[in-house]
Amino acid sequence: MSDVRDPLYTSLAQRVIAILWPSFLTAGLATVLLFTWIDPAELSLYVPGAEGVTRLGAYSAGFFGLWAITAVSSALTSYFGRPAGR
Amino acid sequence: MSKAATPPEGNEQEFYAKRAKVYPREVHGLFARLRTAGVLGLLGIFYGAPWLTWGDRQAIWFDLPGRKFHVIGWTFWPQDFFLLALLLIIAALSLFFFTTLAGRLWCGYACPQTVWTEAFLWIERRIEGDRSAQMKLDKAPWGGRKLAIKGTKHAIWLIFALFTGLTFVGYFTPIAELMPRFFTFQTGGWETFWILFYAFATWGNAGFMREQVCIYMCPYARFQSAMFDKDTLIISYDEKRGEPRGSRKRGVDPKEKGLGDCIDCTLCVQVCPTGIDIRDGLQYQCIGCAACVDVCDQVMDKMGYPRGLVRYTTENAMEGKVTKVLRPRVVLYALLLLVLMAGLLYGIMSRNPVGIDVIRDRNVLFRELPDGRVENVYTLKLLNKSDSLREYHVEIRGLEGAELVIDRVMPVPVPAGGVVELPARVRLDPVVLDAPTAELVFIARVAGEPDAGNERAGRFVGRMR
Ligand code: SF4
Ligand code: SF4
């Protein structure tokens, strides 16, 4: 196998996996750290409009929010990792 | 960019060709039996564990909404986070330890990806037939029969995946209530979402992605080779003995034909779940499942050759040297593991069963009372990490002349593994303060146990700067 480039970059599907998967892992880790530190039920006492938020809802939303952010980071890395001028 | 950095189109074609669907052939033998035992054992634990009870609750229950993890007799709180961190470090280090000793034992026998893929393959084989039947079916044009077979397979896969998703969420929400609620469409939005999400991930990973998860997504697969040395147990083809490979009739003396022991039947390639040829040498795609060992041993038996043309061995053994089990890094990992495990055990044993948290009321900084004193409002959280009911007294210290007002009868009962929230007010004449704010300490004491207690500092705001 002539390994000129990482096989990860050969197809769109693999590229998408290479962006979403590491960001999923890091977002999971960040979610655990964030919510061990902060209790969303306490937070909802002080954030206006957040009274009805349940802990499970906050955890889930927090996870997807963090995933979105880490995915942007992964996507940028992937984008800048490409040879320029194509 | 220079031409060298951008590979020609042909290269991508090659990768696509290489990533053709793998149809692993079913294999029987010693290691296949071991793997089946591993798969059944681990699936049994996964699907069975949430049904165990301890006292009047689920024995293993990661109560995220309640911010408590119950593991048999223990209850862990966010404050015990360092124990979880320690546990994860121990898990990682054990993986290093076993990898150095025995290579990718984890991948071949215990990784969830392997376990569920094996289960999905088993279902697939019962429905679509063996490897050649599966390949024929995939090549055949779509029609009633193909639709029926594929439909049945996916229906069974999906039911299995859904049950897996349900069980997974059952670790976080009591499973005995979750199951009936799910089947009567009474699960909450997020619960339903996570059940379906996990079911979908199971179906996708075990049904479609399979070896690609190991090759493209698994971080461990990428760095495990760094833990290998020449004494690590690997699966290897005995090139000296096998080559030159070539087909021959049974009973023909290979030496006469100038051949080695490999009859080039390619069975070892056909059984390989990652679609590689072990005869090309050690590759990072090899998950060490030993399917090729089993099948080649059968071939050797049929041919009347000794077993072990493909076998568990070490690089040193292949080169005719002695394999050392106790190497410096193995000893080091083992010692480190022992120390960390002792630390974890000590950490769990010496946990203070009494916990107190102080949360200031953030809406009002302070309030002036008619008598000239200043009042601060707090919420106290009293935690009982033990497995029996305890009664707590609450006091303050560190702030001369301050009065603690709690509208509850002391002592306050706190249930086993429970939290009680207590609104508390502290009143103080601000003239005694020489700064705008001061620190005070809240103390929780267990009634009848003079040594049991815990304390936590809080801040008192006396006036604006
Ligand atoms: S199964 Fe054994 S004999 Fe057959 S091709 Fe593989 S190594 Fe050679
Ligand atoms: S080469 Fe052999 S041990 Fe490695 S993954 Fe393939 S069948 Fe399993």
Show residues of chain B in contact with A5, CB under 8 Å: 7, 11
Q: Would you call B81 an interface residue with chain A, using a CB distance cutoff of 8 Å?
A: yes
Testing the interface with B: which of A1, A31, A46 to mutate, by most B Cβ within 10 A? A1
The residue whose C-alpha atom lies closest to atom 3 belonging to ligand 1 is: B262
- Residue B38 Cβ contacting ligand 2 at under 6 Å: no
pLDDT digits (tens, 9 = 90+) for B111-124: 999 999 999 999 99
Tell me how far apart the terminal alpha carbons of chain B are, to the nearest angstrom. 62
Least CB-CB distance to A55: which of B11, B64, B191?
Answer: B64
Average pLDDT over residues B278-282: 90
Protein residues whose CB sits closer than 6 Å to any atom of ligand 1: B 237, 242, 245, 262-268, 279, 295-296, 299, 309-310
B275 CA: nearest ligand 2 atom: 6
Residue B456's H or E segment, with its range, is: strand B449-461
Q: HSE, CB side, 13 Å, CA atoms: give it for residue B31.
A: 23
More confident residue, A47 or B451: B451
CB contact under 8 A, B6 and A86: yes
Q: Residue B42: what pLDDT? A: 95
Report how far ligand 1's centroid is from the alpha carbon of B243 (Å): 11
Question: What integer is the mean pLDDT of B106-110?
Answer: 89
Query: Mean of the pLDDT values across residues B153-177?
Result: 94
Atom of ligand 2 lying closest to residue B293 CA: 2
Looking at residue B437, what is its pLDDT?
84
Q: In this predicted complex, what is the ipTM?
A: 0.77
CA angle B373/B378/B381 to nearest 5° reads 150
Q: Which of residues 354-373 of B touch A (CB under 8 A)?
A: 359, 362-363
CB B94 within 8 A of CB A52: no
Measure in Å the smallest separation between the Cα of A73 and chain B Cα atoms: 18
Higher pLDDT, A42 or B68: B68
B172: nearest CA in chain A? Answer: A56
- Atom 1 (ligand 2): residue with closest C-alpha? B278
How many angstroms does the Cα of residue B236 sit away from the middle of ligand 2? 9
Cα of B317 from ligand 1 centre, angstroms: 20
The H or E element that residue B356 is part of is: strand B354-360
C-alpha angle B268/B274/B279, rounded to 5°? 40
Instruction: Choose among A21, A46, A60: nearest Cβ to B217.
Output: A21
C-alpha to C-alpha distance for B311 and B309, rounded to whole angstroms: 6
Question: Which pLDDT score is estimated for A46?
Answer: 65
Nearest ligand atom owner, CA of B214:
2
The whole-angstrom separation of Cα B229 and Cα B65 is: 45
Task: Tell me the two tokens of residue B453.
Answer: 């207690």
What's the length of chain B?
Answer: 465
Mean pLDDT, rounded, for A1-8: 44
Residue A46 burial (10 A CB sphere; 0-12, 13-18, 19+): exposed
pLDDT at B154 over 50: yes
Assign A72 a pLDDT band (cuts: 50, 70, 90): very high
> How many CB atoms neighbour CB B79 within 10 A?
15
Are the C-beta atoms of B279 and B261 separated by less than 8 Å? no
In 3D space, the residue among B326, B376, B224 whose CA is nearest the CA of residue B285 turns out to be B224
Q: What is the pLDDT of residue B3?
A: 38
Helical (H) or strand (E) element with B313: strand B310-313
| pLDDT of amino acid A51 | 66
pLDDT at B9: 40
Distances (CA, A) of B177 to B20, B170, B181, B186, B432: 44, 9, 6, 10, 56
Q: Which of B74-88, B103-117, B393-407 has the lowest mean pLDDT?
A: B74-88
Judged by average pLDDT, the poorest of A42-46, B109-113, B162-166, B231-235 is A42-46
Q: What is the CA radius of gyration of chain B?
A: 32
The radius of gyration computed from the CA coordinates of chain A, to the nearest angstrom, equals 18
> What is the model's pLDDT at position A84?
65
Ligand 1 mean position, distance from CA B242 (Å): 8
Tell me the per-residue pLDDT of B424-456, one tens digit each, with 9 for 90 and over: 999 988 888 888 888 899 999 998 887 888 999
Instruction: Please list every residue in chain A whose beta carbon sits closer than 8 Å to the beta carbon of residue B194.
Output: 60
- How far are the Cα atoms of B5, B8, B210, B348 from residue B13, in angstroms, in the given order? 17, 9, 21, 55
Average pLDDT over residues B93-106: 88
Q: Find out whether B172 and B58 touch, Cβ atoms under 8 Å.
A: no
Provide the shortest C-alpha distance from residue B409 to chain A (in Å). Answer: 25
- Host H or E run for residue B332: helix B328-349
Domain boundaries, chain A: 12-80
For residue B286, report the distance from its CA to the centre of ligand 2, in Å.
5
Alpha helices by DSSP H, chain A: 12-37, 40-46, 55-80
Give the closest residue (by CA) to ligand 2 atom 7: B272
Cα of B288 to ligand 2 centre, how many Å?
Answer: 5
Which ligand places an atom closest to the C-alpha of B262?
A: 1
What's the average model confidence in pLDDT over B99-115?
A: 89
| Chain A residues interacting with chain B (CB cutoff of 8 angstroms) | 1-2, 4-5, 7-8, 10-11, 14, 17-18, 21, 25, 36-37, 39, 42, 45-46, 54-57, 59-60, 83-86
Which domains does chain B possess? 14-351 (no CATH), 354-461 (2.60.40.10)
The beta-carbon neighbor of A17 closest among B64, B194, B216 is: B216
Mean pLDDT for all residues in chain B:
87
Task: Convert the pLDDT of each residue in B34-72 to its tens digit.
Answer: 999 999 999 999 999 999 998 888 989 998 888 888 888
Kindly report the average pLDDT of chain A as a whole number.
78
pLDDT per position as a tens digit, B230-260: 888 899 999 989 888 988 887 778 888 888 8
**What number does the ligand 2 atom closest to the CA of B288 have?**
3
Spatial contact of B235 and B288, defined as CB atoms under 8 Å apart: yes
Q: Report the distance separating Cα B86 and Cα B134, nearest Å.
A: 46
Considering only CA atoms, which residue is closest to atom 2 of ligand 1?
B296
For the segment B386-394, the average pLDDT, to the nearest whole number, is 86
* Residue B243 near residue B258, CB atoms below 8 Å: no
Tell me the CA end-to-end span of chain A in Å, nearest whole number. 25
**Which one of B6, B15, B191 has the shortest CB-CB distance to A10?**
B15
Kindly report which listed range (B19-23, B82-86, B175-179) carries the lowest average pLDDT score: B19-23
Contact residues on chain A for B11, CB-CB shorter than 8 A: 2, 4-5
Distance from CA of A2 to the nearest CA of B (A): 8
Task: Find the mean pLDDT for residues A45-67.
Answer: 80
Answer whether B382's CB lies under 8 Å from B356's CB.
yes
- Mean pLDDT is lowest, of B15-29, B36-50, B90-104, B379-393, for B15-29
**Would you state the pLDDT for residue B202?**
95
Task: Tell me which chain A residue has its CA closest to the CA of residue B81.
Answer: A36
Stretch B220-238: mean pLDDT, rounded? 87
